């Protein structure tokens, strides 16, 4: 009985390792993205605790803005803008109330109260531990008219604390996440195979124990501190929550322990020399499989943008029993002179009758609605500010997507083929979208550098990295349905694209 238990545990654990490893090795870019999440979490958790700064804006010696912002080690210089404007509802002039709004870096702020004209003085102060870091006082000669805009570049380098080497180590690991992904996924498959054929069990079990203990700690850390909501153990094939993955790893520790106690009962399928050759060949083939899946896209596609999927249908589908939208509570901040109140929708009318006017709306999610696998799909023309998302989703004709998530890391060896496909698409009146997460100016410079006859639309980087497991990736859509996709290493000929549309 004990013998059969040991055999079952060995074969079961080996098969589980092979399955888990191949699923992730099939999509090494996906597991690399997951590793980046862990590296970011670790870097954040070992980061030096920075001080905060208080931002204060005063008009006529009346404090209209007081905000606290955390400093970060990379905050060497911070761009700050603030504006004294007539209120939006106070139009046309002469104005009777002025408000303050602006930005701290990319974070917006707006005052809840107002001042009456004339506006005589404006004061901007930045405090750290109640000590003045920056202060600017402006005298203003205005009454019922005018707008005042201010912009400062504030040097914060002397106020931030330097990060430890460990923070830099985890950040630098992100540069090698793809290599780590291929190595660890391949190692998982190789160890699983070694268990099944009982090759060098002392070595195999030792390495397996180290891996299992390490990943048990990792999943416990993710679950306990709620850091990474999906462990990535089985890639996009099967998403496990951290606690479920932690329990799975605990079971693996027990299984590895059983194998270790019974290792004397195992005999290798092959004599030593032949076993070494077989393991060498198998290991080489495993690594080659992972590399090919990276260079030419996953062999088995478990992503929401896989061939045959109608992305519009996926975006709009809500499973039975799920909420289509979030359940939220709304509160309204109303203003009357220097007084402000926060009220519910039922109380709104009563306060407006008392002379209160709308300032802003606060929204709090009570129950989350169903989150579609495709919920961040968007196409934006940055230069003209036009959203083409609905245009793409409602199209009835073929569409070509050239996706370059990160411009400076793109493989452009086959860019001439992409240019030819663009010209073919335009000649046949097919839509052609080039998508990137870069801002408008870098995208423009990229097009000039490679003499591209098309411009780039903007999309969310996470969405693009989900769509394009290789940088770049070409998609062919029929309407909103994915017909096929190709790695930037294997851009198809125009004849091949035409054959898909017959």
Which tokens is 27 given?
Answer: 């999509």
**336/481 Cα distance (integer angstroms):** 53
Phi first, then psi: give them for residue 101, nearest 5 degrees.
-150, 165
- Residue 394 domain-assigned (yes or no): yes
DSSP states along 147-214: -EEEEEEEE-GGGSPPPPHHHHHHHHHGGGHHHHHHHHHHHHHHHHHHHHHT-SHHHHHHHHHHHHHH
Domain end marker among 126, 159, 192: 159
Whether 305 is covered by a domain: the verdict is: no
In Å, what is the CA distance from 268 to each residue of 4, 19, 196, 273, 310? 16, 21, 9, 11, 49
Distance CA 391, CA 389 (A): 5
3-state SS, residue 382: coil
175 and 32 share a domain? yes
pLDDT confidence of 294, banded at 50, 70, 90? very high
CA atoms of 47 and 467, how far apart (whole Å)? 32
- The strand pair at 398-404 and 431-436 is best described as parallel
Q: What is the pLDDT of residues 418-462, one digit of tens each?
A: 999 999 999 999 999 999 988 888 899 999 999 999 999 998 888
CA distances (Å), origin 156, targets 56, 58, 79, 139, 303 = 16, 22, 10, 26, 43
Half-sphere exposure of 326 (CA within 13 A, CB side): 9
349 vs 332: CA distance, rounded Å? 11
Using alpha carbons, select from 290, 265, 268, 292 the residue that is nearest to residue 279.
268
Per-residue pLDDT at 16: 87
Whose CA is closest to 18, among 263, 142, 232, 195? 195
Average pLDDT, stretch 259-266?
74
Reported as type and span, the H/E element at residue 136 is strand 131-142
φ/ψ of 234, rounded to 5, equals -120, 30
Torsion over CA: 295, 300, 301, 306 (sign)? positive
Task: Give residue 48's pLDDT band: very low, low, confident or very high (50, 70, 90).
Answer: confident
Rounded to whole angstroms, how far apart are CA atoms 218 and 230?
Answer: 12
Are 7 and 58 in the same domain?
no
User: By residue range, what is the domain housing residue 348?
Assistant: 327-367
> Do 287 and 180 fall within a single domain?
yes
pLDDT at site 399:
93
Query: H or E segment at 58?
Result: strand 52-59
| Confidence label for 367 from pLDDT (cuts 50, 70 and 90) | low
Q: Say whether pLDDT at 287 is over 90.
A: yes
pLDDT at residue number 424: 94
Scan for tokens 């596609």, then name that residue.
301
Give residue 460's pLDDT: 87
Does residue 472 sit in the same domain as residue 338? no
Contact criterion met (CB below 8 Å) for 58 and 64: yes
Considering the domain architecture, whether residues 350 and 462 belong to the same structural domain is answered as no
> Same structural domain for residues 32 and 173?
yes
Specify if 185 maps to a domain: yes
79 and 39 part of one domain: no
Largest CA distance in the chain: 96
Report the candidate in 31, 41, 57 with the shortest Cα–Cα distance to residue 125: 57
Q: Is there a domain that residue 241 lies in?
A: yes
Contact 180, 173 (CB under 8 A): yes
Question: Cα 399–405–409 angle (5° rounding)?
Answer: 130
Are residues 419 and 384 part of one domain? yes
Domain membership of residue 413 (yes or no) is yes
430 and 388 assigned to the same domain = yes
**Residue 204 belongs to some domain of the structure:** yes
Answer yes or no: are the C-beta atoms of 472 and 299 closer than 8 Å: no
| Residue 77 scores a pLDDT above 60 | yes
pLDDT at 385: 80
At 320, list the tokens.
Answer: 């039975």
Q: How far is CA 452 from each of CA 422, 443, 445, rounded to the nearest angstrom?
A: 10, 11, 10
Rg (CA), the chain: 29
- Tell whether 413 and 479 lie within a shared domain: yes
How many Cβ atoms are within 10 Å of 59's Cβ, its own excluded?
24
Calpha distance 99→360 (Å, rounded): 13
pTM greater than 0.95 (yes/no): no
- Give the least confident one: 114-118, 156-160, 340-344, 368-372: 368-372
- Please tell me the total count of domains within the chain: 4
Q: What whole-number distance in Å separates Cα of residue 115 and Cα of residue 85?
A: 10
Q: What is the mean pLDDT of the chain?
A: 83
Retrieve residue 444's tokens: 């423009």
Whether residue 172 sits in one domain with residue 286: yes
138 membership: H or E segment, kind and range: strand 131-142
pLDDT tens-digit map of 177-188: 999 999 999 999
Q: Give the residue from 272, 295, 318 where a domain finishes.
A: 295
pLDDT value, residue 375 = 81
pLDDT of residue 96: 74
431-436 and 456-458 as β-strands: parallel, antiparallel, unpaired? parallel
CATH of the domain at 429: 3.40.30.10
> So what's the pLDDT on residue 161?
78
Query: Is residue 320 assigned to a domain?
Result: no
Q: What is the mean pLDDT of residues 355-374?
A: 70
pLDDT for 445 equals 92
Instruction: Report residue 191's pLDDT band, with 50, 70 and 90 as the boundaries.
Output: very high
pLDDT for res 46:
78
Arithmetic mean of pLDDT, 355-372:
68
pLDDT at 101 over 80: yes
Is position 122 within any domain?
A: yes
pLDDT tens by residue, 120-173: 888 999 988 888 888 999 887 665 556 778 888 888 888 887 877 888 888 888
161 vs 326, which has greater pLDDT? 161
141 and 197 assigned to the same domain: no
Contact yes or no for 121/98 (Cβ under 8 A): no
**Residue 322: strand pairing partners:** none
- Considering 339, 367, 395, which residue would you say is the last residue of a domain? 367
Residues 401-425, mean pLDDT to the nearest whole number: 92
Q: For residue 283, what pLDDT is reported? A: 93
């Amino acid at each position: 009985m004990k013998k059969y238990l040991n055999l079952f545990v060995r074969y079961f654990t080996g098969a589980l390792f092979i399955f888990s490893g191949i699923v992730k090795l099939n999509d090494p870019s996906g597991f690399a993205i997951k590793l980046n999440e862990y590296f970011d979490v670790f870097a954040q958790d070992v980061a030096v605790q920075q001080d905060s700064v208080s931002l204060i804006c005063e008009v006529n010696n009346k404090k209209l803005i007081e905000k606290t912002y955390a400093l970060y080690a990379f905050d060497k210089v911070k761009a700050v803008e603030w504006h004294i404007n007539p209120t939006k509802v106070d139009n046309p002039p002469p104005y009777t109330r002025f408000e303050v709004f602006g930005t701290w870096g990319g974070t917006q702020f707006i005052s809840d109260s107002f001042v009456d004209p004339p506006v005589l003085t404006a004061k901007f102060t930045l405090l750290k531990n109640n000590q003045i870091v920056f202060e600017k006082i402006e005298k203003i000669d205005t009454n019922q008219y005018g707008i005042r805009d201010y912009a400062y570049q504030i040097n914060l380098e002397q106020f931030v604390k330097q990060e430890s080497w460990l923070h830099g180590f985890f950040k630098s690991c992100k540069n090698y996440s793809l290599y780590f992904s291929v190595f660890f996924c391949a190692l998982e498959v190789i160890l699983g195979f070694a268990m099944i054929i009982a090759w060098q069990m002392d070595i195999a079990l030792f390495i397996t124990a180290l891996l299992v203990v390490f990943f048990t700690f990792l999943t416990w850390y993710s679950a306990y501190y709620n850091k990474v909501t999906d462990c990535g153990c089985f890639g996009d094939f099967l998403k496990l929550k951290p606690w479920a993955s932690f329990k799975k790893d605990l079971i693996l520790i027990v299984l590895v322990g059983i194998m270790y106690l019974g290792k004397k009962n195992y005999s290798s399928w092959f004599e030593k020399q032949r076993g070494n050759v077989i393991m060498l060949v198998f290991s080489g083939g495993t690594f080659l499989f992972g590399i090919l899946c990276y260079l030419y896209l996953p062999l088995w596609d478990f992503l929401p943008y896989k061939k045959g999927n109608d992305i519009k249908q996926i975006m709009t589908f809500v499973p039975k029993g799920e909420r289509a939208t979030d359940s939220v509570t709304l509160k309204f901040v109303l203003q009357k002179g220097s007084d402000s109140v926060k009220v519910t929708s039922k109380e709104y009318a009563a306060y407006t009758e008392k002379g209160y006017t709308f300032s802003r709306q606060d929204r709090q999610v009570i129950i989350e609605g169903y989150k579609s696998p495709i919920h961040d799909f968007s196409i934006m023309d940055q230069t003209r500010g036009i959203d083409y998302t609905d245009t793409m989703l409602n199209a009835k004709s073929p569409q070509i997507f050239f996706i370059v998530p990160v411009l400076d890391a793109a493989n452009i060896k086959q860019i001439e083929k992409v240019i030819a496909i663009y010209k073919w698409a335009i000649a046949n009146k097919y839509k052609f979208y080039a998508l990137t997460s870069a801002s408008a100016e870098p995208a423009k410079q990229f097009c000039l550098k490679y003499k591209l006859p098309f411009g780039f639309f903007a999309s969310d980087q996470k969405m693009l990295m989900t769509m394009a497991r290789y940088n770049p990736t070409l998609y062919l859509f029929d309407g909103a349905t994915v017909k096929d996709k190709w790695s930037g290493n294997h851009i198809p000929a125009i004849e091949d694209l035409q054959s898909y549309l017959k």
